[in-house]
Structure 1
Amino acid sequence: MFTRKDFPEDFLFGTATSSYQIEGHGFGGAGRTHWDDFADTPGNVVRAEHGARACDHYHLYEQDLDLVAAAGFDAYRFSTSWARVLPEGRGPVNTEGLDFYDRLTDAMLERGLKPCATLYHWELPSALADLGGWRNRDVASWFADFTEIIMDRIGDRMWSVAPINEPWCVAWLSHFYGAHAPGLRDIRAAARAMHHVLLAHGRAIEVMRAQGLGNLGGVFNLEWASPASDEPEARHAAAIYDGIYNRWFLGGVFKGAYPQIVLDGLEPHLPQNWQDDFPTITQKLDWCGLNYYTRKRIAPAPGPWPALCEVEGPLPKTAMCWEIYPQGLQDFLIRTAAEYTGDLPLYVTENGMAAPDQMRGGDVDDPDRLSYLAAHLEALRAAQARGVPVKGYFVWSLLDNYEWSFGYEKRFGLVHVDFDTLARTPKASYHAMALALRKDQNR
């Protein structure tokens, strides 16, 4: 297992959560979201579970932050809920929502934790979904207005801010695969969401710069694409997958261009004059965050573009059936710095695994998670040794939580949550992290 002395003195260790997954969206005057609607639709979510109570972090946040601090983490990456602050997405502000994030921020600072905010982690207000949501270009202006309101309240105390978590999930997973809210399977909707999510990102950065805020970044989820064979068709399919998943969003933000291999399929469906939005999309960032979990093996498939499919791989898998492939994290860190970000600081803003954790005798032993984290931190160090400016690492997740369409059955947390009693029990991985992160270790 690693220790702090294996990393530079200024290297940041943190853990992460998201609002809808832990807060309890039925509390504090929060408005309805498209995730509530998605979960109410039969067949979308395991046991039709939803986030109305979740982990009740809304009321239990102080004990949760005590756990973050006691583990020795330097920073806490959290997200704000648009519908908690603006129940209709626009218009009247819910002061209870702003007050909650005010209290949460102060509680972090009282414990010596750096607050790392993400403004949007997928809980679009239903009233805006009714107006087309991410398909509607106006979503960028609506999001900019939300950004101004929430950052007027807490921005002065943030260590870092990113506008949108995992744009691929917001756009492609949700509008092409239909696996997340709003549950569409429509290439035109997906193409427009792919563009508008980056336009909203850029508008939010503009707003925060105008407010005088700094240390602003973007958070991108990346998934290594391996061809299922050496055949040219498989390599081409993997390149398309890589383009959609990884290069579209990094290319838009850092190069002001989308990869041609993806435009070949999506350009007819993009909004008119989409090229004119790149000056907004490419607003200067201070850092780049990478969320990494797995790789996919990709093969060609019959049918219309993108004409590809995922093929089961041979590597050990997590409870999500995701292959464990630490090499992908090293390769992405190296590639991102070389091709997109240069000397810009990189952070691994999410990394972790779901495991079938069981409480036995009051303890939760999760050796597979600890091995996963150690292997990925070793991959990170290998990238650092190659000169990549990786400045921090955040474990996903602090708590077992609402895992979207999987309900409450997939456990990613360092801390076990009993979803009946809401009791928190630190797992073996939590205790190992706390030992590794002790700041009194000799260097």
Structure 2
Amino acid sequence: MKSFDDSTETLKVLSLQAEQFRNSFVKEDFGRGFHWGTATAAYQIEGATTTHGRGASIWDSFVKRPGKIKNAHHAEQACEHYYRYEEDLEFVPALGFGAYRFSISWSRLLPEGTGKVNQEGVDFYHRIIDKCLSLGIVPWITLYHWDLPQALQDKGGWKNRDIIAWFADYADLCTREYGHKVKNWLILNEPMAVAALGYTTGQHAPGLKGLHNFLPVVHHLALCQAEGGRVVRHNVPDAFVGTTFSCSAVEPHTSSARDIRAAGRIDALMNRLFIEPSLGLGYPVDAFPFLKKIKKYLHPGDEEKLRFDFDFVGLQNYFRIVVKHSLWRPVLWAEEVKVNAPRTAMGWEIAPEGMYDILKQFGKYEGIKEIIVSENGAAFPDEIQDGAVYDPQRRDFFRDYLQNLLKAKREGVRVNGYFVWSLLDNFEWAEGYDPRFGLVHVDYATQKRTVKHSGEWFANLLRN
């Protein structure tokens, strides 16, 4: 581990970098109350998937299916964060961050999804929280980051309306256990990805395919997002509660009316589908009439149950989407256009102006009190050379996206936080271990950690 103890060597390195690469902003430009943090997810880093009473999740089952995960990778060890959390958390303040967003593994607390509590799992997250507090780190908990207990999937998972009660009980357990220590809570991580990738295209766990799955899953996720918020607010005095959405600025490929309407349909799915019901605006059927079919799954009183007055909304932005009308996609009548532009190792377009556009778009909602960028980052093919990881592309990515965030903030958008994805290289779902998003490089064979130069850049920005 590279030390950040203000040694002469470290100061020389950072001073040299400051001379070679000057930012157009400083930390103070974002305001004194701005939340600077980094983020992880339980399944992607913890490992120990069969340890100390943890039950199986849908991802434990999914990784065993041939051809689903690149290179047949799995997360049985991942970053061994279950055992190395103390070392890992020390990177957070060393890199200048004051907040740490992490998720709780539902099946580590409730191996069957409901019922008997696994005390060893409960105690593990107490240790995580206590370590954060001892280091002066403010913990932010995500209740659900995609790892549904397999026992609940066997009962239908997110297709089963009973999940509203299952999730409320799980949220109740978490908030009763940790609410006296943790005030910052996020309910769901990217529900659109759960519905689309997990239950419609089959690219993510649980690997179900078919458009018939999409609408009930969307509705149950939207109900749980609000119900989870109510549980947190009831159990945690002075809670700061939000939820997260993966959002992208959507642009029509041309100025034709058909392309504009196609972009509107994609925007309805990517950006409006979950925020508008929570604001009492209903589902965005105006732009995407297919969503009218969701009425089949609405029970009396659901319109009111969908509403919740969140303290903040977490936006997770990585790329923009350019859309054109398509004759070959009969539901969407739209498809993405791959423009000629720089891309990350995930194939995502690097479009920092998209951060500005999506913040401005969400800033227009009167019901949103505050916006936190709860994820932003980039994967590149990092390599260790002479004991270091030099990643100027990632450094430039962060600089440019932060510049656009600051531009939106200066124009009045109520954005008050930024969380880097991710603290560590990790298991990147269906892409396995090839994409590296971390500020800290992980050698998966030895589990050695090495701070990347992008991490040093953040230390320089945030500590000076």
**CA shift for structure 1 position 340:** 4.8
**Distance in 1 (alpha carbons) for counterparts of 2:27 and 2:434:** 32
The aligned counterpart of 2:3 is none
| 1:199 aligned partner, one-letter code | L
Which of 181, 188, 203 pairs up with 1:157? 181
1:82 pairs with 2:106: yes
Which of 198, 205, 211 pairs up with 2:222? 198
1:146 pairs with 2:170: yes
The aligned counterpart of 1:4 is 27
**Distance in 1 (alpha carbons) for counterparts of 2:51 and 2:281:** 41
**Distance in 2 (alpha carbons) for counterparts of 1:26 and 1:138:** 26
Which of 280, 291, 294 pairs up with 1:266? 291
Quick one: structure 1 residues 384 and 304, their matched pair in 2 at CA, closer, same or farther if it must change by over 3 Å? same
Deviations 1:316-348 (A, max 9, x none): 111111011111111111111212535x12111
**Distance in 1 (alpha carbons) for counterparts of 2:444 and 2:152:** 30
Task: Tell me the TM-score normalised to structure 2 length.
Answer: 0.92
Q: Secondary structure at the match of 2:248?
A: strand
Q: Which moved more, 1:97-106 or 1:177-186?
A: 177-186
1:182 pairs with 2:206: yes
**Distance in 2 (alpha carbons) for counterparts of 1:392 and 1:273:** 35
**CA shift for structure 1 position 72:** 1.3
The aligned counterpart of 1:428 is 453
**CA shift for structure 1 position 35:** 0.9
Contact 2:378 2:394 in 1 (8 A): yes
**CA shift for structure 1 position 263:** 5.2
**Distance in 1 (alpha carbons) for counterparts of 2:70 and 2:240:** 38
**Distance in 2 (alpha carbons) for counterparts of 1:299 and 1:340:** 30
The aligned counterpart of 2:275 is 250
1:404 pairs with 2:429: yes
Deviations 1:29-61 (A, max 9, x none): 211111111111111111221211110110100
The aligned counterpart of 2:14 is none
1:300 pairs with 2:351: no
**Distance in 1 (alpha carbons) for counterparts of 2:338 and 2:51:** 41
1:58 pairs with 2:82: yes
1:219 pairs with 2:223: no
Which of 420, 440, 461 pairs up with 1:395? 420
Which of 361, 365, 374 pairs up with 1:339? 365
**Distance in 1 (alpha carbons) for counterparts of 2:151 and 2:436:** 31
Give the share of equivalent positions with the same residue, in percent.
40
The aligned counterpart of 2:158 is 134
Task: Tell me the TM-score normalised to structure 1 length.
Answer: 0.96
Quick one: structure 1 residues 144 and 12, their matched pair in 2 at CA, closer, same or farther if it must change by over 3 Å? same
**Distance in 1 (alpha carbons) for counterparts of 2:259 and 2:365:** 23
**Distance in 2 (alpha carbons) for counterparts of 1:274 and 1:173:** 26
Contact 2:380 2:436 in 1 (8 A): yes
1:312 pairs with 2:333: no
**CA shift for structure 1 position 299:** 2.0
Which of 118, 139, 143 pairs up with 1:119? 143
Quick one: structure 1 residues 275 and 425, their matched pair in 2 at CA, closer, same or farther if it must change by over 3 Å? farther
Could you list the runs of 5+ residues in structure 1 that have no partner in the other structure?
none
Contact 1:317 1:324 in 2 (8 A): yes
**Distance in 2 (alpha carbons) for counterparts of 1:275 and 1:341:** 24
Q: Secondary structure at the match of 2:274?
A: helix
Q: Secondary structure at the match of 1:416?
A: strand
Q: Which moved more, 1:413-422 or 1:182-191?
A: 182-191
Deviations 1:269-291 (A, max 9, x none): 55433573232221221111100
The aligned counterpart of 1:106 is 130
Which of 443, 450, 457 pairs up with 1:418? 443
Aligned residues: 438
1:326 pairs with 2:352: yes
| 1:30 aligned partner, one-letter code | R
Which of 41, 44, 52 pairs up with 1:18? 41
| 2:72 aligned partner, one-letter code | A
**Distance in 2 (alpha carbons) for counterparts of 1:412 and 1:83:** 25
Q: Secondary structure at the match of 1:134?
A: helix
Quick one: structure 1 residues 392 and 269, their matched pair in 2 at CA, closer, same or farther if it must change by over 3 Å? closer
**Distance in 2 (alpha carbons) for counterparts of 1:211 and 1:271:** 33
Quick one: structure 1 residues 58 and 194, their matched pair in 2 at CA, closer, same or farther if it must change by over 3 Å? same
**CA shift for structure 1 position 307:** 2.4
Which of 367, 387, 393 pairs up with 1:362? 387
Contact 2:265 2:288 in 1 (8 A): no
**Distance in 1 (alpha carbons) for counterparts of 2:378 and 2:299:** 37
Q: Secondary structure at the match of 1:163?
A: strand
Q: Secondary structure at the match of 1:115?
A: strand
Which of 358, 374, 394 pairs up with 1:349? 374
**Distance in 2 (alpha carbons) for counterparts of 1:73 and 1:89:** 33
**CA shift for structure 1 position 262:** 5.7
**Distance in 1 (alpha carbons) for counterparts of 2:363 and 2:450:** 38
Contact 2:33 2:416 in 1 (8 A): yes
**CA shift for structure 1 position 26:** 3.3
The aligned counterpart of 1:48 is 72
Contact 1:47 1:407 in 2 (8 A): yes
| 2:127 aligned partner, one-letter code | R
Contact 1:222 1:292 in 2 (8 A): yes
Q: Secondary structure at the match of 1:293?
A: coil
| 1:5 aligned partner, one-letter code | E
Q: Which moved more, 1:133-142 or 1:329-338?
A: 329-338
Deviations 1:104-155 (A, max 9, x none): 0000000000000100100011111111111111111101100111111111
